[in-house]
């Protein structure tokens, strides 16, 4: 599971520094100790300052999860940056974001921080607490008759800030003045309970477990736990004894009161209740600490050790408790029992290493291999081959030309395999504006990330997952990589047709669509180059001749009317350029006409119409039309496509999104012979394909890798 540890230490990244600054901070030693414990527990852990940037950082760290994968969870160590209700800040943000977290909610922290409200709730529940009064200002009269000695403390602070014993009126007013000047806060005044101080740590929710009582021994000086004691500046060492020397009846009474206090304030997961026991054995609740300190020297950690929870076990126990409160087990019980051990191993391998998947994608997008970059393509193919070789796949020389096409297979005969087809080239003019890898909460951006890199990474991670359960080399799969997607498979299509005739079925890893949709039907395309030449005419020429550009523009308007939506035919002018001399009109025009279609007969008719439109009808105009590229369409082969049926079943079983959609763009799937089952669009969903803003959906990157691995695991 992804765990974000949020704390407050150095950052003051807020819009304005305003209000009372926070004085509570976890030490780096404790933060790192918790992080290391959670990493050892098998979690993906990252630490964050709890400042104004936390929302974006959590969005980036915790993308949407797939079914059965636990959402990310926050281990909250944040005391806030400033203000009276600072304990509430991060839990409140997490509540708004819908991110689960360890510890109590904002409303509980608000109550627990306000010692007066806490005492009022305890009194209402019939729970014992020392008599008290509140001084709004140092000179305010006491509303209750209290007996000295008294304790003074800020009404809504923690960690013993301002805590002091006062023995007379003068000391009382001086203590209240210090508190008011330091915290601008009313002073809580309560009767001092002479006696023993006991802490009870609480762990869990339903049921709540009380840890063994811890007794504090203060030695010389005031018999209270001051702030100076806690930061080791008082000159004395507070001794802790656990379990405290109490009768079983006393211990059970304290535990019961602590649990009742925990529930009265609505605490979750963990807390600590501090008691004093007077000389007659009567217990009094001093405070409920809704964020019990996890410092290694604290009484909470000390008590946990006595029940067998060392630091690592305690940190992971808190994650387990919070996880159970939010979403029960990591997978629903019926789902866990439904799948094989190897299926669950693949699931866990991929979901627990989501960061590695994205980092590998980052690495691949940093390796450019544009269609017109043979050096980059060579480097990418070499790297891809090295990865497959390490996994045990071998190159099939019969279906490899080492220029535009490469084929690999497992130990299974290629004739029994499912062929996975994907491009290595990025079909974009390279070198001008390189696109750097970046993330946002939902999408990943980078050079060729959807058209090439994400499919490659999904394939590699799926193969690695199969390898981890010793199922790769026995999997019925083969891989075909080609390098001329940007040229319409001009050089690789014949080899792809040959290998496709040999295999059992084909999956093309072109980008799919949101919602887990693959493609079972794609339009084909044809690209035509048109060259128009004529005389060089002066601007303002008034004779019978026409310049090539004006002639082309007249004809281009007729092209628009060739498209027929009902026949899935589109015809458009894609590019136009001209040449001219000095001040003269253009004498040469070059244009590209692009046709997409589903039915080849319709495409033939459109081609004939294009040739008719651009037939010369002026004596000074000459035209030349050449077909540059033709990509066959993928027409839906059958409603009983075995690949679709299997993917649909797997997706339903594992609760992965799945659907089918047709596409306007051509792909390598159109090359596959008609008698071979094929699907396309198995890559992650994309946006703005073939542009500098090309991106893939973060969640679907993991979904596709998982579905691909499961497909071959259980084939």
Report pLDDT digits (tens) over 256-296.
Answer: 999 999 999 999 999 999 999 999 999 999 999 999 999 99
Residue 110 has a pLDDT of 92
What's the token pair of residue 432? 């001008």
Strand pairing of 270-278 and 570-579?
unpaired
| Confidence tier at 70 by pLDDT (50, 70, 90) | low
The count of other CB atoms within 10 Å of the CB of residue 318 is 24
Let me know: does 703 contact 656? Beta carbons within 8 Å.
yes
| Confidence tier at 442 by pLDDT (50, 70, 90) | confident
Q: What is the DSSP letter of 352?
A: T
Residue 149 has a pLDDT of 92
Strands, DSSP E only, in 497-609? 505-508, 511-512, 517-522, 524-533, 570-579, 588-597
Output phi, psi for 389, to 5 deg. -65, -40
- pLDDT tens string 544-566: 899 999 999 999 989 989 999 99
The mean per-residue pLDDT over the stretch 127-146 comes to 91
| Confidence tier at 333 by pLDDT (50, 70, 90) | very low
> CA-CA distance, 312 to 37, in Å (whole number)?
4
Interior CA angle at 478 toward 475 and 481, to 5°? Answer: 145
Residue 131 has a pLDDT of 95
Strands, DSSP E only, in 535-674? 570-579, 588-597, 622-631, 659-663
Strand pairing of 150-154 and 187-191?
antiparallel
Least-confidence region, from 14-18, 198-202, 584-588: 14-18
Cα 112 to chain centroid distance, Å, stands at 33
* Closest CA relative to residue 658, chosen from 713, 602, 585, 708: 708
pLDDT above 70 covers what percent of the chain? 94
| Confidence tier at 332 by pLDDT (50, 70, 90) | very low
What's the token pair of residue 369? 């291999």
| Confidence tier at 429 by pLDDT (50, 70, 90) | low
Residue 335 has a pLDDT of 43
The mean per-residue pLDDT over the stretch 632-642 comes to 86
- pLDDT tens string 506-557: 999 999 999 999 999 999 999 999 999 999 999 988 888 999 999 999 999 8
Let me know: does 654 contact 516? Beta carbons within 8 Å.
no
- pLDDT tens string 347-404: 988 887 888 899 999 999 999 899 999 999 999 999 999 999 999 999 999 999 999 9
C-alpha radius of gyration, the chain, whole number: 36
Residue 328 has a pLDDT of 60
423 exposure class (CB count in 10 Å sphere: 0-12, 13-18, 19+): buried
Q: What is the DSSP letter of 70?
A: P
Residue 334 has a pLDDT of 39
What's the farthest any 2 CA atoms get from each other in the chain? 121
* Closest CA relative to residue 94, chosen from 358, 322, 351, 324: 322
Indicate yes or no: pTM above 0.85. Answer: no
Residue 337 has a pLDDT of 45
pLDDT > 60? residue 673: yes
The mean per-residue pLDDT over the stretch 216-242 comes to 75
> CA-CA distance, 681 to 289, in Å (whole number)?
54
pLDDT > 50? residue 330: no
pLDDT > 80? residue 83: no
* Closest CA relative to residue 449, chosen from 556, 549, 357, 570: 357
Let me know: does 232 contact 259? Beta carbons within 8 Å.
no
Residue 160 has a pLDDT of 57
Beta bridge partners of 190: 132, 151
305 exposure class (CB count in 10 Å sphere: 0-12, 13-18, 19+): middle
| Confidence tier at 67 by pLDDT (50, 70, 90) | low
Residue 561 has a pLDDT of 92
3-state helix, strand, coil in the chain (%, to 5): 35, 25, 40
Q: How many CA atoms lie within 13 A of 286 on its CB side?
A: 26
> CA-CA distance, 348 to 175, in Å (whole number)?
57
The mean per-residue pLDDT over the stretch 290-309 comes to 94
Place of tokens 């904002």: 106
> CA-CA distance, 421 to 419, in Å (whole number)?
6
Residue 620 has a pLDDT of 92
What's the token pair of residue 312? 């690592």
Residue-range domains of the chain with CATH? 2-101 (3.40.50), 111-130+193-325 (3.30.470.20), 350-522+634-713 (3.40.630.10), 524-631 (3.30.70.360)
Residue 81 has a pLDDT of 81
Residue 26 has a pLDDT of 86
| Confidence tier at 30 by pLDDT (50, 70, 90) | very high
> CB under 8 Å to 651, separation ≥6 — which residues?
516, 657, 658, 707
Output phi, psi for 440, to 5 deg. -130, 180
Residue 234 has a pLDDT of 61
What's the token pair of residue 242? 């656990």
Least-confidence region, from 29-38, 79-88, 202-211, 485-494: 79-88
> CA-CA distance, 470 to 482, in Å (whole number)?
28
Residue 626 has a pLDDT of 96
What three-state secondary structure class fits 47?
Answer: strand
> CA-CA distance, 646 to 641, in Å (whole number)?
9
Place of tokens 């051990």: 341
> CA-CA distance, 301 to 303, in Å (whole number)?
5
């Amino acid at each position: 599971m992804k765990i974000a540890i949020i704390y407050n230490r150095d950052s003051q990244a807020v819009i304005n520094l305003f209000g009372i600054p926070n004085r509570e901070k976890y030490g780096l030693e404790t933060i790192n100790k918790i992080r290391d414990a959670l990493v050892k527990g098998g979690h993906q852990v990252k630490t964050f300052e709890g400042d104004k940037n936390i929302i974006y950082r959590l969005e980036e760290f915790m993308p949407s999860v797939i079914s059965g994968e636990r959402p990310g969870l926050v281990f909250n160590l944040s005391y806030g940056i400033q203000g009276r209700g600072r304990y509430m800040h991060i839990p409140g943000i997490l509540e708004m974001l819908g991110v689960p977290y360890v510890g109590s909610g904002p409303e509980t922290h608000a109550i627990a921080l306000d010692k007066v409200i806490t005492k009022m709730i305890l009194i209402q529940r019939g729970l014992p607490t020392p008599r008290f009064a509140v001084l709004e200002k140092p000179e305010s009269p006491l509303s209750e008759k209290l007996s000295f000695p008294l304790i003074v403390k800020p009404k809504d602070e923690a960690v013993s800030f301002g805590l002091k014993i006062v023995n007379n009126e003068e000391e009382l007013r001086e203590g209240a003045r210090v508190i008011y000047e330091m915290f601008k806060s009313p002073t809580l005044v309560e009767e001092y309970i002479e006696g023993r101080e006991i802490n009870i740590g609480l762990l869990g929710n339903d049921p709540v477990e009380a840890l063994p009582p811890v007794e504090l021994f203060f030695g010389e000086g005031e018999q209270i736990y001051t702030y100076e004691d806690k930061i080791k500046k008082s000159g004395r060492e507070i001794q802790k004894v656990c379990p405290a020397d109490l009768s079983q009846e006393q211990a059970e009474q304290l535990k019961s009161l602590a649990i009742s206090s925990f529930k009265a304030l609505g605490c979750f997961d963990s807390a600590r209740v501090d008691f004093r026991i007077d000389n007659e054995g009567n217990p009094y609740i001093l405070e409920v600490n809704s964020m019990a300190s996890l410092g290694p020297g604290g009484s909470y950690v000390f008590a946990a050790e006595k029940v067998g929870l060392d630091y690592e076990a305690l940190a992971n126990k808190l994650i387990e408790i919070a996880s159970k409160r939010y979403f029960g087990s990591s997978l629903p019980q019926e789902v866990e029992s439904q799948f094989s051990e190897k299926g669950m191993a693949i699931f866990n391998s991929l979901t627990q290493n989501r960061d590695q998947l994205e980092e590998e994608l980052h690495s691949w997008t940093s390796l450019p291999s544009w269609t017109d970059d043979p050096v980059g393509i060579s480097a990418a193919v070499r790297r891809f081959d090295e990865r497959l070789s390490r996994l045990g796949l071998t190159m099939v020389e019969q279906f490899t030309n080492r220029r535009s096409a490469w084929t690999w297979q497992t130990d299974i005969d290629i004739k029994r395999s499912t062929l996975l087809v994907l491009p290595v080239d990025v079909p974009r003019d390279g070198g001008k504006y390189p696109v750097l890898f970046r993330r946002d909460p939902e999408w990943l951006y980078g050079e060729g990330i959807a058209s090439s890199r994400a499919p490659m990474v999904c394939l590699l991670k799926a193969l690695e997952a199969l390898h981890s359960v010793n199922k790769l080399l026995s999997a019925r799969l083969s891989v075909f990589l080609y390098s001329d997607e940007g040229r319409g498979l001009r050089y690789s299509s014949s080899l792809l047709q040959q290998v496709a005739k040999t295999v059992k079925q084909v999956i093309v890893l072109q980008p799919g669509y949101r919602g887990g949709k693959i493609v079972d039907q794609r339009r084909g395309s044809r690209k035509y180059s048109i060259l128009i030449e004529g005389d060089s005419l002066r601007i303002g020429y008034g004779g019978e001749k026409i310049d090539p550009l004006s002639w082309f523009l007249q004809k281009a308007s007729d092209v628009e009317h060739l498209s027929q939506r009902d026949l899935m035919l589109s015809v458009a002018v894609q590019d136009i350029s001209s040449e001219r001399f000095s001040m003269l009109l253009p004498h040469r025009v070059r244009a590209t006409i692009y046709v997409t279609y589903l039915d080849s007969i319709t495409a033939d008719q459109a081609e004939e119409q294009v040739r008719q439109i651009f037939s010369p009808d002026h004596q000074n105009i000459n035209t030349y039309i050449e077909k540059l590229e033709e990509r066959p369409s993928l027409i839906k082969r059958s409603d009983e496509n075995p690949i679709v049926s299997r993917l649909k079943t797997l997706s339903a079983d594992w609760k992965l999104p799945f659907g089918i959609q047709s596409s306007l763009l051509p792909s390598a799937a159109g090359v596959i012979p008609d008698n071979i089952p094929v699907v396309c669009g198995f890559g992650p969903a994309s946006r703005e394909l073939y542009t500098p803003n090309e991106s893939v959906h973060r969640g679907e990157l993991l979904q596709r890798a998982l579905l691909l691995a499961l497909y071959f695991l259980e084939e």
